[in-house]
Structure 1
Amino acid sequence: MSTTTAVAPLTIQDAETLVDAARRAAETTGVAVSVTVLDAGGQLLAFRRDDRAVLISGETSTRKAYTALQLDAPTAELVDLVKPDGPFHSLPTALDRPLLFIAGGVPVHRDGRLIGAIGVGGGAPDEDHGFATSAVNSLV
């Protein structure tokens, strides 16, 4: 007998909490960012670009979130896998929808199940990863 436990999906309130937490973390270091939150199906739940954030950060935050969602892993852990000598070096160009292997994308789990992802762009990769991780950790 199989038992399946329903897991609550990522809500718009969750998404807003993630965006606010990531932006607060970035503000404490003086970094202007864009933040994207996707649900488990890859659909946009929330997006915010700070006034001073570079324009490309909107695109990078979205691609980072999508990559983290599709591979169910933080993008920071995937960077070495797509280098020319890495086992997945052709993955960035293998799909119609572009993946981005730069730190700043983090999957969101609830009760051990993947329910979405967050992507942060605008700071240095390590900063973006820290802001995204901080946001995910703030989601209770």
Structure 2
Amino acid sequence: MSTAPQTFISYGPPVSLDIAQRVAGAAEAEARANGWPMVIAVMDSAANLVVLHKMDHAQIGSVEIAQAKARSTVRFKRPTRVFEEALAAGGLNLRLLATEGACPLEGGLPLMHEGRLVGAIGVSGMQSTQDAQVAAAGAGAL
């Protein structure tokens, strides 16, 4: 019986302010292109906030949610969509509700450099799929 080796994601050096601003800027450009008022949070590989960007007319509640998405992504080394899909599936996955810091809302993505997690972006303000679209534009700028 053959088993494939597991691949583990390692944490890398923290994302710099320059890079975090570039990521947030790309996310903002995507949000503006669609007319979506968003909050964009970029955290480093230790889940420290590097950039928090609240666009005009973004709902105040999204400030905390964007940060929660980015923090969850760093802590658990995965996009927040994984948690959203697991909860939607129900059953034993509902145990996730007891996992402190796991944000089950799409819109949090890891920032990877040379195969290592150097930070995360979290976006909130619209529907989860739209948040994810804006986060992907930001992550793509890395």
Bucket of the pairwise TM-score, normalised by the shorter protein: 0.7 to 0.9
Q: Please report how far the alpha carbon of residue 8 of structure 1 lies from its aligned counterpart in structure 2 after TM superposition.
A: 5.0
Structure 1: how far apart are the matches of 2:82 and 2:96?
15
Aligned-residue CA RMSD (Å): 1.6
Work out the number of aligned pairs and report it. 131
The answer to whether 1:82 aligns with 2:91 is: no
Segments of structure 2 that go 5 or more residues without pairing to the other structure are 1-11
- Aligned match of 1:99: 102
Question: In 2, are the aligned partners of 1:73 and 1:106 still within 8 Å (CA)?
Answer: yes
Provide the identity percentage.
26
Q: Deviations over 1:59-83 (max 9, x none)?
A: 1100011111112111123212234
Structure 2: how far apart are the matches of 1:121 and 1:136?
15
- Aligned match of 1:57: 62
Question: In 1, are the aligned partners of 2:83 and 2:103 still within 8 Å (CA)?
Answer: no
Structure 2: how far apart are the matches of 1:130 and 1:11?
23
Segments of structure 1 that go 5 or more residues without pairing to the other structure are 1-6
Structure 2: how far apart are the matches of 1:53 and 1:38?
20
Give runs of aligned pairs for residues 106-121 of structure 1, distance below 5 A.
106-121=109-124
Query: What SS class does the counterpart of residue 35 from structure 1 fall into?
Result: strand
Q: Deviations over 1:12-46 (max 9, x none)?
A: 00110111111110000000000001100010101
Any runs of at least 4 consecutive aligned residues in structure 1 with deviations exceeding 4 A, and if so which?
A: none
Q: Please report how far the alpha carbon of residue 84 of structure 1 lies from its aligned counterpart in structure 2 after TM superposition.
A: 7.1
Range with bigger deviation, 76-85 or 39-48? 76-85
Q: Deviations over 1:86-112 (max 9, x none)?
A: 4442334332xx332111000111000
Choose from 98, 106, 129 the match for 1:126.
129
Structure 2: how far apart are the matches of 1:92 and 1:117?
22
Structure 1: how far apart are the matches of 2:17 and 2:77?
20
Question: Letter of the aligned partner of 2:22 in structure 1?
Answer: T
